[in-house]
Amino acid sequence: MERLRSSPLHANISTALDKHLEAIHVVQARRKDEIVNASSRQRHGPPRCQDERVVLALAVALRALCQATRKVRTVLWCAFQMSLPK
């Protein structure tokens, strides 16, 4: 889109994209934690409190990803509108 406009886009656009990518990485890390916790639970018995914390952390990360996705969709739509010819 920057090439279409021949000028850089607003700084908020790249910030929103960076936050979205960061949220994706956090969700991936929480999901890995959940998988590790689930596999260790099968071997050693059910520690319920730790399992609930891992699932809650994943839920919080997914909520943040959902919010970041909504924001980045809006920002990209605005960037697209700015890059259209007048």
Count of structural domains within the chain: 1
Its domain, for residue 46, covers 10-83
Is 2 within a domain? no
- Asked if residue 20 belongs to a domain, the reply is yes
Residue 18 lies in a domain: yes
Within-domain flag for 42: yes
The answer to whether residue 45 is domain-embedded is yes
pLDDT of residue 7: 73
User: DSSP letter string over 25-71?
Assistant: HHHHHHHHHHHHHHHHHHHH---HHHHHHHHHHHHHHHHHHHHHHHH
Residue whose token pair is 């050693």: 44
The answer on pLDDT for 82 being more than 90 is: no
Over residues 4-31, mean pLDDT: 89
Q: Do the domain assignments include residue 1?
A: no
Q: Is the pTM of this model over 0.95?
A: no
Helices 11-44 and 48-83: angle between axes, nearest 10 degrees: 160
User: For residue 47, is it within any domain?
Assistant: yes
Q: Quick: pLDDT tens for 59-78.
A: 999 999 999 999 999 999 99
Instruction: Name the most confidently modeled range: 34-43, 44-53, 74-83.
Output: 74-83
